[in-house]
Structure 1
Amino acid sequence: MDNSAGRRRAERRGRNAERIAALYLRLKGYRIITTRFRCHAGEIDIIAMRRDLAVFVEVKARADERVAIDAVTPSAMRRIRAASDVWLARQEDAHLLSQRYDIVACLPGRLPRHFIDAF
C-alpha cells in the first residue's frame, strides 16, 4: 500500500468519526454550529452549542479510549484554543458565551465516549 492510499483511508475514517460524533452530540442535546472550522490558527472538528455554552470538540477515531485522549497533544490543544479564539472573535454575542473543550473518542464497535472539559 502506498502512503497516499493510507492517507486517504485515514482521512475517510476521520470524516466518518466526525459524522458519528456530531450525531452523538445532537442526541445528547447539543446544537452543531459547524464542523471542520478552519482558520490560520488551526482547525476545530466540531463546534457545538448548548444554551450559552460553546463547546469546541476534538474527535479521535482510535481502537482504545486512552490512546484517543493521548492523541490530543499539548500542541494540538494550543491550536484548538487559538482557533476557538478566532471563532469567538467573529461572534457578536461572544461576551455572553461560556466555553469548554471536549474530546469525543470514536471506538470500533462501541458508542462514542464523550470526555467533557477534557482540556
Structure 2
Amino acid sequence: MKTALERRRATFLRGHHAEWVALLFLLAKGYRPLARRYAASGGEIDLIVMRGDTIAFVEVKARGLMDDALSAITAAKRRRFSRAVRAWLSRNDWAVNKTWRADAVFIAPKTWPRHIVSAFELEMG
C-alpha cells in the first residue's frame, strides 16, 4: 500500500508526463510554446501556446478513462485558471491584441490525446 507521499508523487509524475504528451501533440498541430506550468494569483496554466494570432491557455487532464478526464475541469478550477490568465496577460502586454481562448487536452491510456478548442470560457472580468 502506498503512503500519501508516494501517491502525491505518482500523481505529480503522471501530470508532468501528460503535459509533455500534450505539448508534443500541440507542436505537431503547429502550435508554438510560450510557457509551461505558469502559476500566478492562486492559479496555474499547464501550457500557453500560440498559433497564428491566437493564444491558447491549455488545461491538461490525465485520467484512467477519457470520460473522467472530460469531467475533471470544475468551476473552481476555471476561476483559478482565469485568474492566472489575467495575471499572465498583465505581464505580457504584447498579447493584448491577440485572440485568447481556454483549450483543454485530455490524456487517457491507450487513446490519442483529445484537444478541445475553447473548452470553457475565460472569466476576464
What range describes the TM-score normalised by the shorter chain of this pair? Answer: over 0.9
SS of corresponding position for 1:110: coil
State the alpha-carbon separation in 2 of the partners of residues 116 and 106 from structure 1. Answer: 15
* Matched AA of 1:112: P
* Matched AA of 2:118: D
CA drift of 1:52 comes to: 1.4
SS of corresponding position for 2:118: coil
TM-score scaled by length of structure 2: 0.91
| CA offsets 1:27-70 (integer angstroms, 9 cap, x no match) | 00000111100112310000000111110100011122221121
1:67 aligned partner: 68
1:94 aligned partner: 95
Partners of 1:41 and 1:86 within 8 A in 2? no
Partners of 2:31 and 2:51 within 8 A in 1? yes
State the alpha-carbon separation in 2 of the partners of residues 8 and 19 from structure 1. Answer: 17
Residues 97 and 41 from structure 1, CA distance in 2 versus in 1: closer, same or farther, beyond 3 angstroms? Answer: farther
Partners of 1:104 and 1:115 within 8 A in 2? yes
Count of aligned positions: 119
Instruction: Give identity over the alignment, percent.
Output: 40
Gaps of at least 5 residues in structure 1 are: none
State the alpha-carbon separation in 2 of the partners of residues 104 and 94 from structure 1. Answer: 22
Partners of 2:23 and 2:47 within 8 A in 1? yes
State the alpha-carbon separation in 2 of the partners of residues 24 and 12 from structure 1. Answer: 18
Partners of 1:46 and 1:56 within 8 A in 2? yes
For the aligned residue pairs, the C-alpha RMSD in angstroms reads 1.0
Structure 1's consecutive aligned runs of 4 or more residues displaced over 3 angstroms after TM superposition are none
